[in-house]
C-alpha cells in the first residue's frame, strides 16, 4: 500500500489567515470519498 499526502494551501494577508484543501480521499486509483473535510476551524 502506498501512502500519499494532500495539498493544503494557507494564505495570510493583513493579519487574516485562510486555509484550504481538496475534499477527495483516494486509495490508490480508487476514490473513496469526495466530500472529506481536511481543514477544520479552530476557535
pLDDT given at position 26? 78
pLDDT given at position 42? 73
Is the pTM higher than 0.85? The answer reads: no
CA distance 23 to 12: 21
pLDDT tens-digit series, residues 4-35: 677 889 999 999 999 888 877 877 777 787 77
Residue of 16 and 3 predicted with greater confidence? 16
pLDDT given at position 10? 93
CA distance 7 to 5: 7
CA distance 24 to 19: 16
Residue numbers annotated as active site: 6
Amino acid at each position: 500500500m502506498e501512502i500519499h499526502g494532500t495539498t493544503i494551501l494557507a494564505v495570510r494577508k493583513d493579519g487574516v489567515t485562510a486555509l484550504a484543501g481538496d475534499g477527495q480521499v483516494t486509495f490508490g486509483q480508487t476514490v473513496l470519498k469526495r466530500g472529506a473535510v481536511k481543514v477544520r476551524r479552530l476557535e
